[in-house]
Amino acid sequence: MGLNCLDKGFVVWLTGLPGSGKTTIARGVAERIRGMGYHVEVLDGDWVRKTINPDAGFDREGRRRHLLRVAWISRLLARNGVIVLASFVSPYRAVRSEIRRIVEEEVPFIEVFVKASVEECIRRDPKGLYAKALRGEIKNFTGISDPYEEPEDPELVIDTEAENPEESVQKLFNYLIEKGFLPKN
């Protein structure tokens, strides 16, 4: 099957607590979009911090710089026809507003709040980070020693405590089709 090319892509920014399901959803949606023949990239915090931003800190300003770099990369990819699924805790509303401004100068931006309680994320704790943060081994950990400011008006809310991963993926995928970002097949 050949690839379908978009003149311009768009950026879906998944925000939520660590362990809320952001990257799982992003990867699931990316797989479906690739199956439609489109170029898609998943950018997630772990990969970006290992490769592009290994010097990024976890204090407020370090997080801000890290996320603004990702916003510019996302914009660059999307303006060249790539669909970007960005999976980042991005805990501060003001920084998410900056990200939106950067991206929307050229391409559509969709903020998705991946909602799960701190208690549920602690229960899941896929990387053991909450346990370390609760023991004081990790400083500035979102949800424990650093705040997470929930989005006030995201385009979509996905509640991963109320939905299983497949339902969450389907919800975002359906949204992209319903809003005309992806064609109805």
Residue 115 maps to which CATH number? 3.40.50.300
Confidence of residue 132 (pLDDT cuts 50, 70, 90): confident
Least-confidence region, from 14-28, 49-63, 112-126, 154-168: 49-63
Number of domains in the chain: 1
CB atoms within 10 A of CB 43: 20
- The contacts of residue 164 (CB under 8 Å, 6+ apart) are none
In a domain, 5, yes or no: no
Confidence of residue 2 (pLDDT cuts 50, 70, 90): low
The domain in which residue 55 lies consists of: 11-178
In a domain, 94, yes or no: yes
In a domain, 109, yes or no: yes
List the catalytic residues: 90
In a domain, 3, yes or no: no
Return the exposure string of 125-140: e unless at least 16 CB atoms fall within 10 Å of the residue's CB, then b: beeebbeebeeeebee
In a domain, 151, yes or no: yes
| Main-chain phi, psi angles of 6, to 5 degrees | -100, 145
This prediction has a pTM of 0.93
H or E element at residue 14:
strand 11-15
In a domain, 132, yes or no: yes
In a domain, 167, yes or no: yes
In a domain, 162, yes or no: yes
